[in-house]
Structure 1
Amino acid sequence: MWKIGEELLIERSIRKGVINPGDVGRTIQHNGLVASFEYSIHVRCDENYYGPKCNKQCRPRDDYFGHFVCDQFGNQVCLEGWMGQDCRTAICRQGCNLLHGTCSTPGTCT
């Protein structure tokens, strides 16, 4: 047995490999000389990061730069009343004249 600080180490398990993020964890079985145990590893992306390598970023916003939330895959989903790239275009009130009317906030018409 090895001594680490004031605690005794009974068994050591080292595992190399790649585990992609996802909802399914990986169960590892360790059968050592002194002890046998089973443990589960589950990998999740940090908040606002998505994808199989956690390299897609989507940060929800509701300001001048966009009006959207992020779905489970990290895609932008416009908030109600907004459309277009980064959901920056307001959807005008129904009946607003397409040639002479405009709006900067959803549901209005100038």
Structure 2
Amino acid sequence: MMNPGEEKQPVEFRSAAASLAYAVRVRCDDHYYGVKCNKVCRPRDDYFGHYVCDQMGNRGCMEGWAGTDCKTALCKQGCSLEHGGCSVPAECR
């Protein structure tokens, strides 16, 4: 069993007739993270969210966005949420 990572792991095979030594590195496909490559994080900047992924596959909101899926725009400072609002960051209607 080999875990994904950047380090190469040495492998050696020996028999009575021959020996073979090599190094193996296991990497997850793009946007997959974790020990079993089963954590998915695909950066997006659209209706479904505004976030990037860190090296561990955790979401981080882009500047101006907040919330669970980074869908809530942070309005312009001083914008009254009682009488106004925004649909994009740094805006006030």
- Answer yes or no: same fold by TM over 0.5: yes
* Cross-structure match for 2:22: 39
* Counterpart residue number, 1:104: 87
Task: Between 83-92 and 98-107, report the one with greater CA deviation.
Answer: 98-107
Counterpart of 1:90? 73
Larger deviation: 95-104 or 47-56?
A: 95-104
Partner of 1:19: 2
- Structure 2's unaligned 5+ residue stretches are none
SS of 2:20's equivalent?
A: strand
Tell me the equivalent position of 1:3: none
Q: Report the TM-score when normalising by structure 1.
A: 0.77
Structure with more contact order per residue of length (Cα contacts < 8 Å, sep ≥ 6) = 2
* 2:50 is equivalent to residue 67 of structure 1: yes
Partner-residue secondary structure (3-state), 2:35: coil
TM score, norm. by length of structure 2: 0.90
Deviation digits for residues 20-62 of structure 1 (CA, Å, limit 9, x no counterpart): 1122221012233343331011111111111111111111110
Once superposed, what is the RMSD of the aligned Cα atoms?
Answer: 1.3
Unaligned runs of 5+ in 1: 1-17
